[in-house]
């Protein structure tokens, strides 16, 4: 193999050839570590199938330049892509082809740009990217290649492969399912092989591929399908049709598929054509969703198998607790204690796929969900009976406020039996009285008086208890101490306060001083909450 400092058409061919060779050698190993999102042992096979189609398309075909070679490979890969990993790999090629369009050869700067474009294309195709997967490895490469304009193509390839290997090693720290199984991400392992092949193409130095691999052993009863992997190409009419926004990647179709299952991918496959992928329990519904937007064709359906009783390599964690909250600051607080957390926009709700991914990402058979609000709790409860979770016991602890989530987490004890632990968390949440201090956005009538826009309103357990107007600089403080005094009038030993983004400076100090003077027996803890709908959230235990 000839080393080269540019990626030209011949080098693209050689790269794809080496990818096929190495992914064939690694197929059993990659299949054997495939535990997320479903342990169906096919990621290596799907990657090999996808890249083989790209090689076959280039074989014997006259392509004038690197851009044309990448486009030919990408088009074939998208149409043949199998599985989530195969679609992502096809989008890596498509992103590179888009960046390299019209280029005779890619030097270092152009190759770096192409790999960054690959990251964008692959990430945008996936409805909800998950940390600890093939996408994380690819994004780490993209980030490392910022401002590499002075590098040679071989230097860029070496850096990309090195970064990918490091990111791959970190995937078990990002995704609980991998840590439990003691493996790295299977798709990420395949991507490392693809980048190692690029290094060999440009430098002539081969990265050793293990000669012997150990796939998962399957024994005992034949497993039965838990759900299905549904894949098809979708051709949409001119102008989108049926409200389809082709430029935006069919957002309505993404939402429909996300309501059916997880691992949703809607990837561009050419002009007015998309590659669709979803894991779901209802094949017909997945196809009907496509029919609402265009013409599905080349439909492929494969079973997602629940591992049999003698499946030793994918033993799940017994139980886990996850949280759904609003506000990055609160998410950091909860996540800092090791709890997987989903952050939701201030006025939004989590999608079905968001919640399914949160639950399945734990690899636990018993999952307790703590959702920081009435609407978030209702959204979580809606997915407990989802067909994709039929092999898991999912329990939602009722919480009306983030302070109740914190109270529940404070009593969580992994050493207790699962049922007893859920009861303890539910009791702690229910026993926590909740207060809010908000700034009124408009005029209103309440049972304690008239509220004008801009007034500060105090709530206890969802009921208005006071209204503060007048001096803008002090009314938040007056409302905060007033709500706190009313809550403590019936007892309490611990006050937890989450400070919102709109809170005035020093309000936490004012509360601390007030308690020292009025209730020195009460402990106060304040955290940045990051919420935008309330100036302060309070909990009293």
Taking residues 366-380, report their average pLDDT: 92
Taking residues 183-209, report their average pLDDT: 90
pLDDT of res. 243: 41
Question: 447 φ, ψ to 5°?
Answer: -75, -10
Find, among 367, 299, 62, 66, the residue nearest to 201 by Cα: 66
Which has more confidence, 176 or 461?
461
Find, among 155, 185, 163, 232, the residue nearest to 43 by Cα: 185
Q: If you average pLDDT over each of 303-307, 503-507, 522-526, which comes out highest?
A: 522-526
Token couple for 60: 């014997």
Token couple for 522: 């009460």
Choose which CATH entry (3.90.25, 2.60.40, 3.40.50, 1.10.150) describes domain 317-430. Answer: 3.40.50
**For residues 139 and 522, what is the distance between their CA atoms, to the nearest angstrom?**
47
pLDDT at 143 over 90: yes
Find, among 521, 474, 465, 530, the residue nearest to 502 by Cα: 530
Domain edges within the chain: 9-203, 225-305, 317-430, 433-540
Choose which CATH entry (3.30.70.330, 1.25.40.340, 1.20.1630.10, 3.40.50.10420) describes domain 9-203. Answer: 1.25.40.340
Q: How many residues does the chain have?
A: 541
Give the DSSP per-residue string, 301-314: EEEEEPP-TT--TT
Taking residues 362-374, report their average pLDDT: 88
pLDDT at 216 over 50: no
Return the minimum-mean-pLDDT range out of 87-101, 128-142, 288-302, 310-324. 310-324
What SS3 string covers 442-488?
Answer: CCEEECCEEECCCCEEEEECCEEEEEECCCCCCHHHHHHHHHHHHHH
| Chain centre to alpha carbon of residue 226 | 22
Return the minimum-mean-pLDDT range out of 63-72, 88-97, 240-249, 474-483. 240-249
Percentage with pLDDT > 70 across the chain: 90
pLDDT of res. 2: 54
**For residues 355 and 185, what is the distance between their CA atoms, to the nearest angstrom?**
21
Taking residues 516-526, report their average pLDDT: 92
Q: Name the 3-class secondary structure at 27.
A: helix
pLDDT at 247 over 90: no
Taking residues 434-447, report their average pLDDT: 90
pLDDT of res. 4: 65
Give the DSSP per-residue string, 401-449: SHHHHHHHHHH--TTS-HHHHHHHHHHHHHH-EEEEEEE-SS-EEETTE
**For residues 541 and 526, what is the distance between their CA atoms, to the nearest angstrom?**
14
**For residues 459 and 464, what is the distance between their CA atoms, to the nearest angstrom?**
4
Q: How many CB atoms lie within 10 A of CB 235?
A: 16
Q: Name the 3-class secondary structure at 395.
A: strand
pLDDT at 473 over 70: no
Sheet of 273-280, strands arranged across: 261-270, 273-280, 225-235, 295-305
pLDDT of res. 217: 38
pLDDT of res. 246: 44
Taking residues 225-251, report their average pLDDT: 67
Return the minimum-mean-pLDDT range out of 65-74, 191-200, 502-511. 502-511
The CATH fold assigned to 225-305 is: Alpha-Beta Plaits (3.30.70)
Taking residues 429-448, report their average pLDDT: 91
pLDDT band at 128 (very low <50, low <70, confident <90, very high): confident
**For residues 440 and 436, what is the distance between their CA atoms, to the nearest angstrom?**
12
On average, the pLDDT of the chain sits at 85
Token couple for 416: 């207790």
Find, among 63, 48, 89, the residue nearest to 10 by Cα: 63
Tell me the per-residue pLDDT of 397-422, one tens digit each, with 9 for 90 and over: 989 999 999 999 999 988 888 888 99
pLDDT of res. 309: 40
Tell me the per-residue pLDDT of 79-107, one tens digit each, with 9 for 90 and over: 999 888 999 999 999 999 999 999 999 99
Q: Residue with structure tokens 């407990």?
A: 384
Percentage with pLDDT > 90 across the chain: 47
What is the CATH architecture of 433-540?
2-Layer Sandwich (3.30)
pLDDT at 318 over 80: no
Taking residues 134-161, report their average pLDDT: 89
pLDDT of res. 305: 58
pLDDT band at 487 (very low <50, low <70, confident <90, very high): very high
User: Residue 234: is it exposed, middle or buried by C-beta count within 10 angstroms (0-12/13-18/19+)?
Assistant: buried
Residue 367 makes CB contacts below 8 A (sequence gap 6+) with 319, 320, 321, 322, 359, 392, 393, 394, 395
pLDDT band at 17 (very low <50, low <70, confident <90, very high): very high
Return the minimum-mean-pLDDT range out of 43-52, 140-149, 237-246, 313-322. 237-246
Prediction pTM value: 0.65
pLDDT at 169 over 90: yes
What SS3 string covers 10-24?
Answer: HHHHHHHHHHHHHHH
pLDDT at 472 over 70: no
Residue 338 makes CB contacts below 8 A (sequence gap 6+) with none
What SS3 string covers 356-367?
Answer: HHHHHCCCEEEE
User: Residue 247: is it exposed, middle or buried by C-beta count within 10 angstroms (0-12/13-18/19+)?
Assistant: exposed
Longest dimension (CA), the chain: 86
């Amino acid at each position: 193999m000839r080393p080269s400092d540019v990626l030209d058409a011949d080098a693209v061919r050689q790269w794809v050839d080496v990818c096929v060779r190495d992914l064939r050698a690694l197929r059993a190993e990659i299949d054997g570590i495939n535990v997320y999102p479903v342990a169906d042992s096919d990621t290596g096979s799907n990657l090999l199938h996808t890249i083989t189609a790209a090689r076959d398309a280039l074989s014997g075909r006259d392509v004038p330049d690197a851009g044309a070679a990448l486009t030919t490979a990408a088009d074939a890969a998208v149409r043949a892509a199998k599985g989530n990993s195969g679609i992502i790999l096809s989008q890596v090629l498509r992103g590179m082809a888009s960046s390299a369009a019209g280029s005779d050869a890619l030097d270092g700067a152009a190759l770096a740009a192409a790999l960054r474009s690959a990251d964008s294309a692959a990430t945008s195709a996936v409805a909800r990217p998950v940390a600890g997967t093939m996408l994380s490895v690819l994004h780490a490469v993209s980030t490392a290649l910022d401002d590499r304009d002075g590098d040679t193509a071989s230097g860029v390839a070496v850096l990309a492969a090195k970064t990918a290997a490091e990111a791959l090693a970190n995937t078990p720290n990002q995704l609980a399912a991998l840590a439990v199984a003691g493996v790295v991400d299977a798709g990420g392992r395949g991507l490392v092989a693809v980048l190692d092949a690029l290094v060999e193409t440009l430098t002539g130095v081969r990265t050793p591929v293990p000669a012997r691999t150990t796939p998962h052993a399957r024994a005992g009863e034949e497993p039965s399908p838990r759900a299905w992997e549904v894949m098809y190409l979708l051709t949409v009419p001119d102008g989108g049709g049926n409200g389809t926004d082709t430029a935006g990647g069919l957002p309505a179709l993404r939402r429909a598929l996300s309501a059916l299952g997880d691992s949703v991918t809607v990837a561009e496959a050419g002009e007015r054509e998309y590659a669709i992928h979803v894991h779901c329990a209802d094949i017909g519904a997945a196809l009907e969703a496509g029919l609402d937007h265009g013409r599905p064709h080349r439909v492929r359906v494969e079973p997602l198998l629940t591992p049999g009783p003698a499946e030793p390599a994918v033993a799940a964690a017994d139980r886990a607790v996850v949280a759904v909250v609003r506000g990055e600051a609160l998410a950091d607080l909860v996540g800092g204690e090791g709890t997987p957390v989903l952050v939701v926009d201030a006025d939004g709700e989590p999608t079905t796929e968001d919640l399914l991914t949160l639950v399945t990402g734990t690899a636990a058979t018993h999952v307790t969900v703590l959702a920081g609000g009435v609407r978030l709790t209702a959204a979580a409860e809606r997915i407990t009976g989802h067909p994709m979770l039929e092999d898991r016991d999912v329990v939602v602890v009722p919480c009306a406020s983030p302070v109740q989530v914190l109270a529940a987490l404070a009593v969580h004890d992994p050493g207790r039996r699962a049922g007893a632990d859920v009861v303890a968390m539910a009791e702690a949440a229910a026993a926590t009285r909740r207060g809010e201090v908000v700034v009124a956005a408009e005029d209103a009538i309440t049972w304690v008086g008239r509220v004008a826009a801009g007034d500060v309103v105090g709530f206890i357990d969802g009921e208005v208890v006071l209204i503060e107007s007048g001096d803008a600089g002090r009314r938040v403080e007056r409302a905060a101490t007033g709500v706190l005094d009313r809550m403590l009038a019936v007892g309490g030993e611990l006050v937890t306060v989450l400070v919102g983004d709109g809170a005035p400076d020093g309000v936490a100090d004012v509360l601390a001083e007030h308690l020292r003077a009025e209730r020195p027996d009460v402990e106060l803890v304040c955290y940045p909450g990051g919420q935008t709908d309330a100036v302060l959230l309070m909990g009293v235990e």
